[in-house]
């Protein structure tokens, strides 16, 4: 764990693996330093934004070094919110994704709905959550050629992640289904359903 200053009101923690990010994020949610105003996890980092009236970066760094992320319950076992996403598995890349995973299409759907998913971090577009699962079989390469426009609500796979496109945008993930659930809505508080630490279950719809 390498801790770097980020301006005068933040710290950036660099880690070696995504699992270490998940563990540290869970530990900081369970035991935050005084003055923590925001946590922003990414694939290999966690950013801490601090309120300087309550905590200085040196104090937050001491707090970080006292933490024991390994003692915190794994993300799939924590009491974070659960979001259920209904999916029609009609994506144009479903046959290719199943072939790449060495499964039938029905087996892929069964595995995708049986797995427990957790939002590891957000990025790419507002409301786009990178979900990791407790099923190690999900390792799917991106498409060889990206699409110029992916419809909103598309449910997709890439690498170890699953995701839901919150709006129409370019994208190179393997599209396996669609959902009518709005994962991003500015009229909602908070606008994003898929926030870091949130648990997700996909449910098949006819």
Q: What are the 10-residue block averages of pLDDT along the chain, 206 residues in total?
A: 91 94 92 93 96 88 84 53 96 98 98 97 94 96 96 97 97 98 95 95 95
Helices assigned H by DSSP within 44-139: 57-66, 94-101, 105-114
CB 164 within 8 A of CB 155: yes
Write down the pLDDT at residue 5: 92
C-alpha–C-alpha distance, residues 71 and 7, integer Å: 30
Q: What tens digit of pLDDT does each residue of 84-137 get? A: 999 999 999 999 999 999 999 999 999 999 999 999 999 999 999 999 999 999
CA atoms within 13 A on the CB side of 43: 6
Pairing assessment for the beta strands 147-150 and 154-158 based on DSSP bridges: unpaired
Nearest 5°: phi and psi at 47? -100, 130
Query: How long a stretch of residues is the chain?
Result: 206
Q: What is the dihedral of CA 92, 96, 97, 102, to 10 degrees?
A: 150
Cis peptide before 197 (omega within 30 of 0): no
| Domains of the chain, each with CATH number or no CATH | 2-72 (3.30.1360.40), 82-204 (2.40.100.10)
CA 189, distance to chain mean position in Å, is 19
CB 50 within 8 A of CB 165: no
Write down the pLDDT at residue 195: 94
CB 56 within 8 A of CB 151: no
Write down the pLDDT at residue 75: 46
Write down the pLDDT at residue 154: 98
Write down the pLDDT at residue 72: 47
Closest-CA residue to 32 (of 54, 16, 17)? 54
Q: What is residue 29's three-state secondary structure?
A: helix
Write down the pLDDT at residue 71: 52
Write down the pLDDT at residue 78: 54
Q: Which two tokens stand for residue 170?
A: 């370019």
Q: What is residue 49's three-state secondary structure?
A: strand
Closest-CA residue to 165 (of 181, 147, 150)? 150
């Amino acid at each position: 764990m390498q801790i770097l200053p980020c301006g005068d009101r933040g710290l950036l923690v660099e880690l070696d693996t995504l699992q270490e990010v998940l563990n540290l994020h869970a530990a900081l949610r369970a035991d935050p330093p005084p003055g923590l105003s925001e946590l922003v996890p990414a694939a290999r980092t966690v950013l801490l934004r601090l309120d300087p009236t309550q905590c200085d970066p040196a104090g937050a760094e001491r707090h970080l070094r006292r933490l024991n992320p390994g003692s915190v319950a794994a993300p799939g076992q924590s009491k974070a919110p659960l979001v259920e996403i209904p999916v029609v598995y009609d994506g144009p890349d479903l046959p290719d994704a199943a072939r790449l995973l060495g499964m039938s299409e029905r087996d892929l759907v069964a595995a995708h709905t049986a797995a427990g998913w957790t939002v590891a971090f957000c990025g790419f577009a507002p409301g786009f959550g990178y979900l990791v699962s407790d099923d190690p079989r999900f390792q799917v390469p991106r498409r060889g050629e990206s699409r110029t426009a992916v419809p909103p609500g598309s449910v997709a796979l890439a690498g170890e992640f699953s995701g839901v496109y919150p709006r129409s945008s370019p994208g190179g993930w393997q599209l396996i289904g669609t959902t009518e659930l709005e994962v991003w809505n500015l009229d909602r508080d908070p606008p994003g359903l898929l926030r870091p630490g949130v648990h997700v279950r996909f449910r098949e719809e006819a």
